[in-house]
Structure 1
Amino acid sequence: MEPDMVVEMLKGLDDKDIVISQVVGDDDSTVFDRAKVLMPNSSMVKISDKNHIKHNIIKKVNDLKSKHRELSGMVAESIVKNVSYVLEQNIGNPEGIEKGFHATVNHMYGDHQYCTENWCGYLKNKQNYVHSILPYGKDLSSASLKSDLENLFIRQMVPQSDKLSKLGSSQANESVNNMIALKAPKTKHFSSSSSLNYRVSSAVLQKNEGYHYISERSKKKAKTQSKEWKKKRIFLKKKRAKRSVLSETKEGTTYQSSIGFQIDQKKDDIENIPDMPDDSDQVVTTDAPLVVFDLETTGLSRYSDITQIAACNVDRIFSRYIFPYQPISAEASRITGLTVVGNKRCITMVHWFLTNYPMRD
């Protein structure tokens, strides 16, 4: 869908005799090739977007982490940072990009033949130099990692230095897209709504004029900066946190973010609700004795263990204690009088007396 929309937009501009000199986008050539077929007389050229290039480099560097132990997060971040400097500082300079890619790899291995004194600390102070963005300030030593980095930056990217020296930016388009998405979210069906034109128009005005197109914007901003507004926001945040704690106490940790991706989550956490039993064949009787029972547990969580089960009817009393595998919370221990010391279960005398000799009316 997206390539067709871009091609249609370019064709619409060409039909209005608007000269298109450059098209900035990712390295997918589908849009450009389709547009050239529809506009054979156009002199537009395709330019890669620097943000897509950077994200592509980050992905390729991260893909090497599984192969090389020395390629830690700190090393990967320093590589990406150095490559970003090379691209930013050598706009329109293919030779500078070629030299910069060689320096990116060799500098981290102690080879400074491609470095320049304006950024290389070793050339400025050879006696006391240590790397500021590498672990322990030391040179890298893995030959296999160096070979993969040379393959990525020197063999693959150096031949494209001319293209990399002419990168463009689609950040302005992304900014407008985000503004429109805030006013007309894709998760809601505004395309057939009469408000869609107003939503898109307000996003365009916001891009061109800033927030001055809405007179109430400044009032709202001043209101959100007031002490009363901030106090209310903190109060509501505490209220939500308290509600979440109560829910977790009742049902376990089911409200935590990304709980479904945790490895140690119990397999039987989700249970199917059984169907309603068919009671057509059941016989109702009033002769069965009435039994009252009670459970004591280690806490209120759904994963708590039972520590005692007791039951009684008009003439019999039953009570059994169970050694728990879960720790007993302080609140539960205070209420039940049960606690565990080492491998032994302990009970206060008051609780034992009330259990075995319950008060009767």
Structure 2
Amino acid sequence: MGPDMAVEMLLHNEDFVAERVRVDTLIGDDDSSTIARLRRESDHKILKWADVNHATSGLSNVETSRQALLNIIPHAFDDHTNCKEWCGFHKNPEKYEHKLLPGGKGLTGDNLKYSLEKIFRNFANNAEQLAPCGSSQANESMNMKIASKAPKARHYGGSESNDFRVATAPVPKSSIAKDETVAAVFFDLETTGFGQSCEIVQIAAKYNDTEYNVYILPTKGIPPSASAVTGLTTKGGKLFLLGIEVETESAKLAADGLLSFLKSTKQRVILIAHNCIRFDAPIILRLMKQVELLTEFKNTVSGFCDTLPLFKSKLPERKSEKLSLKQSALAEKYLQTDDLKGAHNAINDVSVLQKLVYHAKINITHDELKLNTVTIKIIV
């Protein structure tokens, strides 16, 4: 973590200010520039703990840690007076050899010993920073996950896909209680593209046999590449599906209509879609925020369930055989020909996904849908 990033995240974090969070301890490697910068700009004292992943996992007690550090150099110079049971010298003094020193022999030289002891005394004097051994492993793990989607070796930062690549990093599962009653509602969106600035042109949802379907006229038109997939085009301020004009609503009315549909279930809702965490969920949440319905949406929807990892789990043979897990590919495998008509139209796609989830050869249960749900708070 660079000094600038640390200051921005820990001292100028709007979420921390809103929640009255104050960071008193930083866990990290021995980069002195970061903690020095934080201490300069902070109005309170910040402690520094060594990260267990950059130190060792055997430290815990401050005094024990201090004595262990002070004993490293005497041990290396064949003075085993204060060595504990870990030292092989006490087990077999005649045949003992140092594992990590040249020729297995102890170090020699008064000047060398003095210089090394001086260095290790500095560490021993700061044993209280090493002993707790906090861990930044969760941060390192997330960095690795993000890098797998947006590799540093490739320049995705200038592309529209970058934000969504980063968003695909696996996120924690929900905190939905096992006994919470929720309605499973399938949903899908059609948009003007895949970038962060894309607009929603169709919202569809299905609960049991009840459907909701609405079209929205985009403000900037639809690129030919998107029209080629969805069949939706604009002309003269009107929206057309495969050349036939469709009735549209404003974004506000469309979002409000979706909320009314979800509330009609008389339960809190989990919204289910294929590969939705990386795209559909952030996009629908953005719409709700734009039309000032996000709070009401949060009060109605418990979270989003992405069916992609569920299909991976239920159909391991497709991964081993390197077969696609796209919804269209699964539909071709498990559903009837008539079910495939109208692909990439949202109202047809929700019906297809519902049939796939409950298909006898896949059989994803309601509990599995709940367990795979990600809360809105995590996505936001």
Greater C-alpha radius of gyration: 1
Greater helix content: 1
Tell me the TM-score normalized by structure 2.
Answer: 0.40
Tell me the TM-score normalized by structure 1.
Answer: 0.42
Greater strand content: 2
Instruction: Report 1 or 2 for greater relative contact order, CA contacts < 8 Å, sequence distance ≥ 6.
Output: 2
